[in-house]
Amino acid sequence: MKDLAGRIAVVTGGGSGMGRELVRQLVAEGVSIAMCDVSASGLAETERLCRQERLPQGLKITTHILDVSDRASVERFQGEIARQHETDKVHLLFNNAGIGGGSSFVVAERDEWERTFNICWGGVYLCTRAFLPMMLKADKGHIVNTSSVNGFWAVIGASMPQTAYGAAKFAVKGFSEALQVDLRLNAPHIKCSVVMPGHIGTGIAGNTGKVLAGNDGDALTPAQIKQARSRIAAAGIDSSKMSDADVEKIVRERIRRFLEEAPMTAAEAATVILDGVKAERWRILVGKDAEILDRRVRAEPERAYDVDFFKSVAEETGWKVGR
């Protein structure tokens, strides 16, 4: 599928970050889009950015508010696409939606842990289940699952547990690898790629709190402050003497740093992903830091979770300490 023009793509998490940039670049190549997100404002902005360019004749863009972890909603989403795009086929499925959170299995709240896992892994499973019949009817198809470097290295910091996210991203990677044989035998016209980005400049750090709190605005809710305190505690820091304002300041700075200090932008990452899809690469590492981590973890798997290993990786990749 080197020429994407005239195809139909489903993009989850299209309201921000890599999802938004994937949508914009796909539209520029003449691909009709069905995108979903939990954020109505995010979807509206992505659509506005696409429509400010001159769209090819006949190209359709539809937006759908959706929680990818909910089976009934995903199945309804599939039906909406069939009706609104007047088709029984889709060619491209980008399972991109995801959040962070669910840091510690030991001290974080169960609801937050399961919410993160169910979005990051459950969303990939449910959407692939829902759209596979439409892809089977197409002449060609490609499933693109966003895992992470945390899909082969389950840590984001020497003192920052990330068990829900890491477990989910490992599941996405394993599922995508298992599909290589399954599709080759049972649906050879469909390809599958697993995407493993390093640190990409997106709004995931801020969006995570919004999704977990059910908040589409910018002001932090009491629930978000509570969740932030839980994540601070999971890192072994006593937040009991911090005011809510102190906690919010920490949250805002983390969001800023994750976006502004990333070595690769979301737009650059989307280009790498689409280039990989066109080349039919099943394994797409995104960013020099991802390539370094892949090499280092393969070379020293027994040391991968030692504190000194993280520090040496941070030095080699150029990550700021406290990432």
Cβ-contact 102, 208 below 8 angstroms: no
How deeply is 307 buried, as exposed, middle or buried, from its count of CB atoms within 10 A (0-12, 13-18, 19+)? exposed
Reduce the DSSP state of residue 199 to 3 states and report it: coil
Cβ-contact 18, 269 below 8 angstroms: yes
Give the C-alpha separation, 305 to 290, whole Å.
Answer: 16
**Read out DSSP for 19-75?**
HHHHHHHHHHTT-EEEEEES-HHHHHHHHHHHHTS-PPTT--EEEEE--TT-HHHHH
Reduce the DSSP state of residue 33 to 3 states and report it: strand
To which H or E segment does residue 262 belong? none
What's the token pair of residue 248? Answer: 């919010």
- Given the residues 77, 94, 113, 165, select the one marked as catalytic: 165
What's the token pair of residue 73? Answer: 């909603």
* CA–centroid distance for 126 within its chain: 15
Residue type, 55: L
Q: Name the nearest CA neighbour of 40 among 8, 16, 74.
A: 16
Let me know if 165 is a catalytic residue.
yes
What's the token pair of residue 194? Answer: 């697993």
What is the C-alpha R_g of the chain? Answer: 19
Q: What are the residue numbers of the active site? A: 165
